[in-house]
Chains A and B, each alone.
Chain A
């Protein structure tokens, strides 16, 4: 699926969009990490929790569960919420 990468993570992908596949959000992120090593740990911690300022949207709806199934032909938008100085 098509993945929109936030600016803070484009050092991994070198572009605003990436392609990754998987049946669940976790699998898509894992595939993204296979293609762009290191990117997953910046978004998901070692206890498999989505980090505080990271949000995932699939076809416009927020996904909070890493095990949620992904549509065959959807778009994943990763948002890095900005806060603080």
Chain B
């Protein structure tokens, strides 16, 4: 078995699927890939993330179709695994009416200055924090029980087909007290006091026609990303288009108008360049009529912007030209930080695709996997 920290491995992909997890290790040229897995065969793995602060703590959010959720931890970059002692769980409410975590959906390592701190987002929407590298978890901030937030979260019937989610937990690399998260549904939220309070950040975002955009409950951010090279800039793929915000501005601007009319700017993943805040990638999806959630016209393509969203270019070299009816989930697309950035995505049909040239050309590196829920690049330990 290989570890994500083997010196001959240039990039490791952490692939979470509906039936288990796999690690794919690339050589220096990123042309040959070695598979390690399955891990947790039969478990639904929603997210698997390596801690960039130590390069060896790996967390995997798991459940099965029949058992309650749990969280697996590795402290040797995937060589061995152990279950967390206390996975995310809501506070117990005496007399009934309390919520229970169906699954942990999103994992975010904490700030570089706070080793051992992790954040988790759950379904139904809940925000949790660990101080000990994911071994024990506790509800974090007033969000989980605040009456306004509970109202905006709606019920389990108001969320995605797989349940409502709290996702896109972002820690400002300049300030551990500055946090963002998104809720599907429930909008985008920001804290500047370390999570003691949050405020909505939904101005400029559209909602489905006929609904009141001033109400957070009608907002459905799909994926929010902060640009590492300019932490004041965030991009967002939303149910109602692609957006950008440049802080301290508090208003999102829709930037997806440059995508072809037959493609549109609906989708789930949002990927940003590690060093160029004007560059980002999306994977549009058919969000028309009954929401087929397939590639538009059966012709999958990545679209890139190099100018902050003013224009978009279709990148489909090597991808199927027609009759490919899969799509890419919100956590299933990511970028590495190599000098020429590698892009990676996993499909709902179980294919894993890689590009060594920022999306110009694509190579299928794995087929026949289960439905892919998340693809993360295992970041190397920070210096």
Contact residues of A with B, CB < 8 Å?
8-9, 37-38, 41-49, 51, 53-54, 80-84
B177-226 contacts to A, CB under 8 A, are none
Contact for B66 among A41, A45, A83, CB less than 8 A: A83
With both beta carbons as reference points, the residue of chain A lying nearest to B68 in the complex is identified as: A42
Task: Determine the chain A residues whose CB is within 8 A of the CB of B26 once the complex forms.
Answer: none
**Residues B93 and A80 in contact, CB atoms below 8 Å apart:** no
Q: How far is the CB of B329 from chain A (nearest CB, A)?
A: 18
Contact for A47 among B65, B84, B100, CB less than 8 A: B100
With both beta carbons as reference points, the residue of chain B lying nearest to A53 in the complex is identified as: B66
Besides A42-B68, A44-B68, A46-B101, 15 new A-B residue pairs in contact (Cβ under 8 A), listed by A number: A8-B64, A8-B67, A38-B85, A41-B68, A42-B67, A46-B91, A46-B92, A46-B100, A47-B90, A47-B92, A47-B96, A47-B99, A47-B100, A48-B92, A49-B100
How far, in whole Å, are A33 and B68 apart by their CA atoms in the complex? 14
Does B74 sit at the interface, judged by CB under 8 A?
Answer: no
Q: How far is the CB of A82 from chain B (nearest CB, A)?
A: 7
Does B255 sit at the interface, judged by CB under 8 A?
Answer: no
Q: How far is the CB of B24 from chain A (nearest CB, A)?
A: 25
Does B277 sit at the interface, judged by CB under 8 A?
Answer: no
How far, in whole Å, are A47 and B91 apart by their CA atoms in the complex? 8
Task: Determine the chain B residues whose CB is within 8 A of the CB of A37 once the complex forms.
Answer: 83, 85
How far, in whole Å, are A41 and B88 apart by their CA atoms in the complex? 11
Q: How far is the CB of B74 from chain A (nearest CB, A)?
A: 16
Contact for A41 among B64, B65, B70, B93, CB less than 8 A: B70
**Residues B66 and A46 in contact, CB atoms below 8 Å apart:** no
Q: How far is the CB of A80 from chain B (nearest CB, A)?
A: 5
**Residues B85 and A41 in contact, CB atoms below 8 Å apart:** no
Task: Determine the chain B residues whose CB is within 8 A of the CB of A41 once the complex forms.
Answer: 68, 70, 87, 89
Does B147 sit at the interface, judged by CB under 8 A?
Answer: no
With both beta carbons as reference points, the residue of chain A lying nearest to B97 in the complex is identified as: A47
Report how many A-B pairs have Cβ atoms within 8 Å. 54
With both beta carbons as reference points, the residue of chain A lying nearest to B98 in the complex is identified as: A47
How far, in whole Å, are A49 and B245 apart by their CA atoms in the complex? 43
With both beta carbons as reference points, the residue of chain B lying nearest to A51 in the complex is identified as: B68
**Residues B85 and A47 in contact, CB atoms below 8 Å apart:** no
| Interface size, chain B (Cβ < 8 Å) | 20
Determine which residue in B90, B92, B98, B100 has the highest number of CB atoms from chain A within 10 A of its CB, and name it: B100
How far, in whole Å, are A41 and B68 apart by their CA atoms in the complex? 6
How far, in whole Å, are A55 and B55 apart by their CA atoms in the complex? 41
**Which 6 pairs across A and B sit closest by C-beta, in order of nearness?**
A45-B100, A46-B89, A53-B66, A42-B67, A47-B98, A42-B68
Q: Provided the pairs A38-B83, A46-B90 are in contact, do residues A82 and B66 lie with their beta carbons within 8 angstroms? A: yes
**Residues B99 and A38 in contact, CB atoms below 8 Å apart:** no
How far, in whole Å, are A28 and B90 apart by their CA atoms in the complex? 23
How far, in whole Å, are A47 and B126 apart by their CA atoms in the complex? 15
How far, in whole Å, are A83 and B66 apart by their CA atoms in the complex? 8
Task: Determine the chain B residues whose CB is within 8 A of the CB of A8 once the complex forms.
Answer: 64, 66-67
Task: Determine the chain B residues whose CB is within 8 A of the CB of A53 once the complex forms.
Answer: 65-67
Q: How far is the CB of B69 from chain A (nearest CB, A)?
A: 8
- Show 25 A/B contacts (Cβ-Cβ < 8 Å), sorted by A: A8-B64, A9-B67, A38-B85, A41-B70, A41-B89, A42-B67, A42-B70, A43-B67, A45-B89, A45-B101, A46-B89, A46-B91, A46-B98, A46-B101, A47-B93, A47-B96, A47-B99, A48-B92, A51-B68, A53-B66, A53-B67, A54-B67, A81-B66, A83-B65, A84-B65
Task: Determine the chain B residues whose CB is within 8 A of the CB of A47 once the complex forms.
Answer: 90, 92-93, 96, 98-100
Task: Determine the chain A residues whose CB is within 8 A of the CB of B96 once the complex forms.
Answer: 47
B66-125 contacts to A, CB under 8 A, are 66-68, 70, 83-85, 87, 89-93, 96, 98-101
Task: Determine the chain B residues whose CB is within 8 A of the CB of A51 once the complex forms.
Answer: 67-68
Q: How far is the CB of A72 from chain B (nearest CB, A)?
A: 29
How far, in whole Å, are A44 and B101 apart by their CA atoms in the complex? 11
How far, in whole Å, are A42 and B87 apart by their CA atoms in the complex? 10
**Residues A45 and B67 in contact, CB atoms below 8 Å apart:** no
What does the 1/0 interface line of B128-162 toward A look like (CB < 8 Å)? 00000000000000000000000000000000000
How far, in whole Å, are A1 and B99 apart by their CA atoms in the complex? 32
Q: How far is the CB of B16 from chain A (nearest CB, A)?
A: 18
